[in-house]
Chains A and B, each alone.
Chain A
Amino acid sequence: MARYVMQRLLAMLLTLFIIVTVAFLVIRLMPSSIYDDPTISAEVLDMIQAKYHLDRPLIEQYGIFMKNVLLKGDWGISMKIQPNIPVFQVLGGKVPLTLFINLVSLLASIPIGLVFGAFAAIKKNTMTDHGISLFVILFISIPSFIYATLLQYFAAYKFGWFPITYTVSDMASVKYLSLFLPTLSLALDPMAKVARYMRAELIESLNSEYILLARTKGFTRSKAIFRHAIRNSCIPVLNIVVPMFANVLGGSLVVESIFAIPGMGSLMIKSINANDHYLTIAILLIYSLVSLMTVLVVDLLYAVIDPRVRMGGKKQ
């Protein structure tokens, strides 16, 4: 197990290294320059470029950047958005907010989806089942930014139940209330996916022989379902949950911009448009890091939940 985790961590470092390299080269090869303000005089421009090593060849710039990163842990400073502030300090305030709405929506949607899916399977081919299935199709198909827009217009603007956009406030209740709609609009899609998959799995389990055996041995239907069927159905559901975690931060970009949440999404767009190179690299790094980490954690949890999964199993 420990060996496997080490292997995965090493592979992750390698991936991150490649991502940072690609990001650095791509960003530097873009046509526009960092300092394109025409009011800066040529001398000052030269000085700035010399200070940030922008006058050196690309490969040397990359060497300097990597040396700073590896030896000093210095990822550079923000150049445009918040000048002269280290990039991770700029990011510091934004990451928790983005992480919060994404993780909360995903973690909340899984159990709710499981419950609805199980309910639909148990009540198979009744009105309940058809109703749930209809909503599942709607929630899976319609993009999250459409719900976000609808919720914002009706729940926030017309009825005034929630703040229209993210509200900065010392009172935790106000802040979390304004995060409710974005979280909800992010949660609907994974919820529907889990519900649909759970329904299919549970229906299959309910038709299997071990349930018949349990019933013949005198288990009541509900006991058979809860003791045997549901447990076995939960494991395959994990298969679709893992990829959701892989994309955990990506989904919220649009919803963040709709609700004006000052998270990583808006920062990324701003820093790309402003040519704030080091900041962009740091943001891409965080996106990759979070997604790789969550996948690793979920993979490890997989082994805990289902003992049949052997981590890093080789061919016997």
Chain B
Amino acid sequence: MRIFKATDPEYLSLKREDFKLHTREEEIHDAKFETKPVGFFKDAMLRFGKNTASIIAFAIICIIVILSAFGPMMNEYGYNDQDLDRANLPARIKGCEGINLLNGSTVLKNRRKDNLDNTEKYPEGCILDVFNETVVNGVEMCDIRIDTYIYSGYGDDYFWFGTDYLGRDLWTRVWRGCRISLIIAFAAVLTNVGFGVIYGSIAGYYGGMTDMVMMRFAEIVQAFPNIVVMTLFIMYFGNGLFAIIMALVVRDWVGTATLIRAQFYRFKDSEYVLAARTLGTKDAVLIFRHILPNAIGPIVTRTMIAIPSAIFAESFLAYIGLGIRAPEASLGVLLSHAQTVLLQYPYQTVFPAVLISVLMISFNLFGNGLRDAFDPTQRGT
């Protein structure tokens, strides 16, 4: 190939016909893309789909959400129907007569054997099993397993999770409590993320003095121990639904804000932002349309991982007596009540405890799956 200079006589004498287009007529040999382009979300969903544990967790979450929406309607008992005569009945489900936890039976210890036939004391058919027979001072004693429902005259009722100390149906209360816990957790996390995103965006985008002041304020908020902030907040605003939600947000937004701010620092000086700015794009559009979508992965992940912590924090408040106001119940309130009668009526602890554990495990697995999908480099941490 020759290089012509502008002063070369040959260059000046070049004619239009001497030039020819290089590849206009010839075939281009590049292979065409056979596949469709995969976007960010589709890519993430594909990765998520490969994670069996997360899919199962997601299914379980869906089931729990549906049950907490419709569970209380599945039997005729209201969440606040009190009846002291039927207090503390264990769980009884039709068809589970063989399983001791679910057949409404209780063990009574040290009963006189000669009294067992007395139908005034033990109504017809309430004794299921007699065992541990001993003789004490010449009196025959034994332990018996009775059907508590027949024993207390509620032979036709089926309380699937039993009843509490006021005779309220625990199935209804557990699902209603689960609903409240979920509402609190979702509302708290959404508020937290919403506020954190706006705060972090402004601090990160404008930088400089604005950033300095805003982040110092956030640091001061974070210096308060969580427990102290939550306690003071609920003491002041009372234990309504809204106050509890706000108590969970009051300090947690700082983490989200820091995360978003870091994302803004990463992207705000990149060329595409500069180009958009040159074209006269407004600040608000730049923030929310051009820069923020970069952080969508971390935001989604953070939201999902924050939900189990919010459920935990809510139960925690319930345990220290700052839970939602009676007669409403959350999972935490139910658990803390059940805790006080654990040794007498363990079934009252079992159902909410299993539910909250399954819920937390599912949310954690689901959150991990989402994080691996959105950011494969973080896998395993």
**A contact set with B: CB distance below 8 Å:** 15, 18-19, 22-23, 26-27, 29-30, 137-138, 140-143, 145-146, 149-150, 152-153, 157, 164, 196-197, 199-201, 203, 246-247, 249-250, 253-254, 257-258, 265, 268-269, 272-273, 284, 287-288, 291-292
Q: Please determine whether A137 and B227 come into contact, CB atoms closer than 8 angstroms.
A: no
Residue of B nearest to A29 (CB): B236
Q: How far is the CB of A152 from chain B (nearest CB, A)?
A: 7
Q: Please determine whether A272 and B343 come into contact, CB atoms closer than 8 angstroms.
A: no
Jot down 8 A-B pairs with beta carbons below 8 A, ordered by A. Answer: A23-B228, A141-B357, A141-B361, A143-B315, A146-B356, A254-B316, A257-B320, A287-B225
Q: How far is the CA of A137 from the CA of B315 in the complex (A)?
A: 20
Chain B residues touching A, majority SS: helix
Q: Which listed residue (B226, B232, B360) contacts A284, Cβ 8 A?
A: B232
8 shortest interchain CB distances as A-B pairs: A250-B227, A200-B381, A141-B361, A254-B319, A141-B360, A200-B380, A291-B225, A15-B223
Q: How far is the CA of A292 from the CA of B224 in the complex (A)?
A: 8
Residue of A nearest to B381 (CB): A200
Which residues in B have their C-beta under 8 angstroms from that of A30? 235-236
Q: How far is the CB of A21 from chain B (nearest CB, A)?
A: 12
Q: Which listed residue (B228, B316, B319) contacts A287, Cβ 8 A?
A: B228
Residue of B nearest to A138 (CB): B361
Q: How far is the CA of A254 from the CA of B312 in the complex (A)?
A: 11
Central interface residue in B321, B361, B381, by most chain A CB within 10 Å: B381
Which residues in A have their C-beta under 8 angstroms from that of B353? 146, 149-150
Which residues in A have their C-beta under 8 angstroms from that of B225? 246-247, 249-250, 287-288, 291
Central interface residue in A157, A203, A287, by most chain B CB within 10 Å: A287
Central interface residue in A253, A254, A269, A288, by most chain B CB within 10 Å: A254
**B contact set with A: CB distance below 8 Å:** 220, 223-228, 231-232, 235-236, 308, 312, 315-316, 319-321, 335, 339, 342-343, 346, 349, 353, 356-357, 360-361, 363-365, 379-381
Q: Please determine whether A269 and B232 come into contact, CB atoms closer than 8 angstroms.
A: no
Which residues in B have their C-beta under 8 angstroms from that of A201? 381
Which residues in B have their C-beta under 8 angstroms from that of A284? 228, 231-232
Central interface residue in A157, A247, A253, by most chain B CB within 10 Å: A253
Q: How far is the CB of A71 from chain B (nearest CB, A)?
A: 25
Central interface residue in A145, A153, A253, by most chain B CB within 10 Å: A145
Q: Please determine whether A26 and B349 come into contact, CB atoms closer than 8 angstroms.
A: no
A145-B319, A149-B339, A265-B320 given as contacts; is B235 within 8 A of A27 (CB)?
A: yes
Q: How far is the CA of A140 from the CA of B360 in the complex (A)?
A: 9
Q: How far is the CA of A150 from the CA of B228 in the complex (A)?
A: 28
Q: Which listed residue (A26, A137, A258) contacts B232, Cβ 8 A?
A: A26
A250-B226, A287-B227 given as contacts; is B357 within 8 A of A273 (CB)?
A: no
Which residues in A have their C-beta under 8 angstroms from that of B231? 268, 272, 284
Q: Please determine whether B380 and A253 come into contact, CB atoms closer than 8 angstroms.
A: no
Q: How far is the CA of A22 from the CA of B250 in the complex (A)?
A: 14
Which residues in A have their C-beta under 8 angstroms from that of B339? 145, 149, 258
Which residues in A have their C-beta under 8 angstroms from that of B356? 143, 146
Q: How far is the CA of A254 from the CA of B333 in the complex (A)?
A: 12
Which residues in B have their C-beta under 8 angstroms from that of A258? 339
Q: How far is the CA of A203 from the CA of B379 in the complex (A)?
A: 11
Which residues in A have their C-beta under 8 angstroms from that of B226? 247, 250
Q: Please determine whether A269 and B321 come into contact, CB atoms closer than 8 angstroms.
A: yes
Which residues in B have their C-beta under 8 angstroms from that of A246? 225
Which residues in B have their C-beta under 8 angstroms from that of A142? 357, 360-361
Residue of B nearest to A11 (CB): B223
Q: How far is the CB of B65 from chain A (nearest CB, A)?
A: 17
Q: Please determine whether A288 and B228 come into contact, CB atoms closer than 8 angstroms.
A: yes
Central interface residue in A149, A268, A292, by most chain B CB within 10 Å: A149
Which residues in B have their C-beta under 8 angstroms from that of A138? 361
Which residues in A have their C-beta under 8 angstroms from that of B321? 269, 273
Which residues in A have their C-beta under 8 angstroms from that of B380? 196, 199-200, 203
Q: Please determine whether B224 and A141 come into contact, CB atoms closer than 8 angstroms.
A: no
Q: How far is the CA of A236 from the CA of B308 in the complex (A)?
A: 24
Which residues in A have their C-beta under 8 angstroms from that of B319? 145, 253-254, 257
Q: How far is the CB of A243 from chain B (nearest CB, A)?
A: 10
Q: How far is the CB of B12 from chain A (nearest CB, A)?
A: 57
Q: Please determine whether B381 and A141 come into contact, CB atoms closer than 8 angstroms.
A: no
Residue of B nearest to A257 (CB): B319
Q: Please determine whether B360 and A145 come into contact, CB atoms closer than 8 angstroms.
A: no
Which residues in A have their C-beta under 8 angstroms from that of B232? 22-23, 26, 284
Q: Which listed residue (B223, B236, B308) contacts A292, Cβ 8 A?
A: B223
Q: Please determine whether A153 and B360 come into contact, CB atoms closer than 8 angstroms.
A: no
A152-B342, A197-B381, A272-B235 given as contacts; is B227 within 8 A of A249 (CB)?
A: yes
Central interface residue in B319, B343, B353, by most chain A CB within 10 Å: B319
Residue of A nearest to B311 (CB): A143
Q: How far is the CB of A283 from chain B (nearest CB, A)?
A: 9
